[in-house]
Amino acid sequence: MSNPVNVICMKWGDKYDASYVNKLYNMVSRNLAREFRFICLTDDNSGLSSAIEAFDIPKLNLPKGIPERGWTKLVTFSKNIFDIKGQCLFLDLDLIVVDSIDQLFDLSGDFFIIKDFVKKDATGNSSVYRFEIGKFSDVLDNFEKNFEKIRAKYRNEQEYLSDYMKNNHSLEYWPVEWCQSFKKNCVQKGLKQFFLTPHLPKKAKIIIFHGKPNPPEAIEGKSGKWYRRVLPTPWVAEHWR
């Protein structure tokens, strides 16, 4: 029997509570047929389901008080993370899994990430990326050695990660239809957004919520922007549980 694959998420600070992790575990359980470990790297494991393996977030040498730009996610590229081995799929907490994700482990290649929904350059969206534990530890080594230069050049962790992988390893993107943006691909365009509920793209496996709204807000019909109308979206609630 082959070894289980790994699904990893991270929770630190107070932006997300344990319910986000538990819902993500439930969504993965419903949509991943193969054996898997579900791992949360966190600074607070209270309230997590007993089926979730919780580990402390590996230390990252960053100056105190700097703006949070997702840099902490780079510890997933540590040489060793406890006893985790093999292929890992990283998932952000504020997304919904709407269909089978087995194929995300089947694609041949070393590193996959979402193509950024806005940027035209090589930048990926790191809400969903796949890698092998320990294989790209130089991503983190280089970051820690050159943090000030990297911080000055890149706005956030996914810009640095994408550029570094492109120049030093390989950078491949998920098929576009698999990972779709709620704002860009689901919310109706123009005046239709005032009358029609956001739709679920047929071939989507994961829906990404970047910025506003997040899943609970989409369920209620809150957009976060005066010029973007999001009607209450029942299908988000069907998956976000």
Chain centroid to Cα 126, Å, comes to: 5
By DSSP bridging, strand 112-115 and strand 95-97 are unpaired
- DSSP 8-state symbol, 182: I
160, 199 Cβ separation under 8 angstroms: no
Whether 67 shows a pLDDT value over 80: the answer reads no
DSSP H helices, 37-176, are: 103-106, 137-145, 147-153, 157-168
Q: Give the pLDDT mean for 7-35.
A: 97
Q: Strand locations in the chain, DSSP E?
A: 5-11, 36-42, 53-56, 87-91, 95-97, 112-115, 124-132, 172-173, 179-181, 206-208
Looking only at the bridges linking them, the beta strands covering 53-56 and 36-42 are parallel
pLDDT value at 66 more than 80: no
Tell me the pLDDT band of 62, cut-offs 50, 70 and 90. confident
What's at 152, amino acid-wise?
A
At 169-209, the pLDDT tens digits run 999 999 999 999 999 999 999 999 999 999 999 999 999 99
* pLDDT recorded at residue 180: 98
5-173 maps to CATH 3.40.50.300: no
State how far the Cα of 147 lies from the Cα of 170, in Å rounded to an integer: 22
- Tell me what the pLDDT averaged over the chain comes to: 95
Which of these, 76, 75, 155, 77, lies nearest to 121 by C-alpha position?
A: 155
Give the model's pLDDT for residue 61. Answer: 79
Taking only the tens place, the pLDDT of each residue in 68-123 is: 778 999 999 999 999 999 999 999 999 999 999 999 999 999 999 999 999 999 99
**Do β-strands 124-132 and 112-115 pair in parallel, antiparallel, or remain unpaired?**
antiparallel
| Burial class (CB within 10 angstroms; exposed 0-12, middle 13-18, buried 19+) of 222 | middle
| pTM, to two decimals | 0.95
Q: Residue 32: left (phi > 0), alpha (psi -120 to 50), or beta?
A: beta
Least confident of 9-13, 60-64, 165-169: 60-64
- Residues, the chain: 241
Where do the structural domains in the chain lie, given as residue ranges? 5-173, 179-239
Beta-bridge partners for 38 = 7
